[in-house]
């Protein structure tokens, strides 16, 4: 997403207009298929209902290499701005989504997981401590790893992502930062 495209989403009075974000949904599961992927379906319904574009969708096994390969393919795709994953954020031996994502983040967004757990605590109490949801950004693409339950996906979308992926949300949002996410590359810097 470029600065020019964001400037075109301001009306004559300087009011921000909605900017549809291109979002890919990744379900991490050893057992789910598209027929019974309730969490993935929840995210698709929420994001399209808000006016965003479903850019891609996939299901991969709970394996670091498979998760990273799909995430990297979408990071390399200029038609994808955001990756939302669901599943694999718990503490069991097969839960490896945080490790897969954190291994490719240029910058982590620790406040996302902290805020999610704070909000989740209001609904499920101390059980929220078992969630290792995480977020970060890599080469201009946001990545969010959400828990595998439909309720957690609804909460993450409704209480955090719906606003942060809306250019109109003030005082700030993730969308307005798109033009600046890769500025270190223009300066010739690395991470």
Question: In the numeric block, which tokens belong to residue 45?
Answer: 């319904």
Inside any domain, residue 146: yes
Q: Looking at the 3D structure of the chain, how many domains does it have?
A: 1
At 44, is the secondary structure helix, strand, or coil?
A: helix
Inside any domain, residue 119: yes
CA 95 to chain centre: 18
Q: Distance between CA 106 and CA 96 in Å, rounded?
A: 18
Q: What is the mean pLDDT of residues 167-189?
A: 87
Q: Tens digits of per-residue pLDDT, 63-108?
A: 999 999 999 999 999 999 999 999 999 999 999 999 999 999 999 9
Inside any domain, residue 138: yes
Please report, for the domain that includes residue 32, its CATH number: 3.40.980.10
**Residue 75: C-alpha distances to residues 23, 80, 101, 159 (Å):** 11, 7, 12, 25
Mean pLDDT score of the chain, rounded to an integer? Answer: 93
Question: In the numeric block, which tokens belong to residue 100?
Answer: 């897969």
pLDDT (0 to 100) of residue 50: 98
Q: Distance between CA 15 and CA 168 in Å, rounded?
A: 8
Task: Identify the domain containing residue 99 by its residue range.
Answer: 21-182
> What predicted TM-score, i.e. pTM, was given to this entire model?
0.93
């Amino acid at each position: 997403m470029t600065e020019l495209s964001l400037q075109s989403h301001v009306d004559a009075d300087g009011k921000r207009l909605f900017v549809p974000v291109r979002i890919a949904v990744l379900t991490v599961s050893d057992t789910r298929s598209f027929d019974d992927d309730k969490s993935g379906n929840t995210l698709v319904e929420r994001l399209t209902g808000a006016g965003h574009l479903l850019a891609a969708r996939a299901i991969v096994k709970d394996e670091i290499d498979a998760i990273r390969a799909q995430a990297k393919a979408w990071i390399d795709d200029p038609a994808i701005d955001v990756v939302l994953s669901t599943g694999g954020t718990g503490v069991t031996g097969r839960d490896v989504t945080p490790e897969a994502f954190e291994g490719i983040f240029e910058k982590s967004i620790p406040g996302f997981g902290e805020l999610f757990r704070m909000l989740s605590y209001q609904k499920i109490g101390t059980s929220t401590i078992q969630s290792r949801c995480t977020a970060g950004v890599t080469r201009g693409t946001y990545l969010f790893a959400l828990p595998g339950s439909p309720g957690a996906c609804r909460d993450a979308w409704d209480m955090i992502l719906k606003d942060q992926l809306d250019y109109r949300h003030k005082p700030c949002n993730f969308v307005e930062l798109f033009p600046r996410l890769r500025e270190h590359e223009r300066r010739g810097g690395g991470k």
